[in-house]
Structure 1
Amino acid sequence: MAQNTFGARIKALRTEKKLTLDQLGELSGTSKSYIWELENKAPPRPSAEKLSEIAKALGVTADYLIGSDDTTRKEAEDIAFFRQYSGLPDETRKHLRDMADSLAKMTKK
């Protein structure tokens, strides 16, 4: 994948979420300068761990960021949500399922 696509995806998601370079760095355990380099330098060489943390902070998958598959952004967000959901306690997941059922019923009316 071309670097500019990788960097552009990070920058687009970061700005859409109204995060500064500092804020994304803090959320992902990196630095402002590291995020800037990923957005602007060629070729990016993030470690798998850093890539995973940045993707988590942006609410997508690492695969989406690097473009290693044909996953759309919506699919990447759904996958990231499901991973987060899967790590929640059973009772919390039950509450979320109940909420989803209620929302589904509301949209059918």
Structure 2
Amino acid sequence: MKLGEKVRDLRRKANLTLEELAQATGSSKGYIWELENKDTNPSLDKLKKIANALHVNVTELISDEEPEDLTSNALFREIDAMSEKDREMIKKIISAIRS
């Protein structure tokens, strides 16, 4: 899948308009449209801003492989950002559910 197609798919999954993604990345609406519809090569800085706004990492945007389950990736990032105490609580909750 091409970069522009990935950006469009991720933007739509995030329920963002072209304008909202443009504002979140410091871009114009026209730039985001061109990125999604033409063979545009954004700078690394712009890729980082787009990835951040879409809650993915840059590798997911530029990889030729199909993206993994984005919901799972987002969940893992949330867990990683938690304190050790909160991560332990999550482990206990998962253990209780699996029992």
- TM class, shorter-chain normalised? 0.7 to 0.9
Name structure 1 gaps, 5 residues minimum: none
Name structure 2 gaps, 5 residues minimum: none
The TM-score, its normalising length taken from structure 1, stands at 0.70
Q: Map of 1:1-109 to 2, 5 A cutoff?
A: 5-42=2-39, 44-67=40-63, 70=65, 72-74=67-69, 78=73, 82=77, 92-94=82-84, 96-109=86-99
Aligned CA RMSD, in angstroms, stands at: 2.8
Matches of 1:32 and 1:95, distance apart in 2: 42
User: Which gives a bigger RCO, structure 1 or 2 (Cα 8 Å, sep 6+)?
Assistant: 2
Q: Is the 8 A contact 1:60 1:73 kept in 2?
A: no
List 4+ stretches of structure 1 deviating above 6 A: none
Aligned residues: 98
Find the residue that maps to 2:69 and give its secondary structure: helix
Moved more, 7-16 or 98-107: 98-107
Matches of 1:47 and 1:85, distance apart in 2: 30
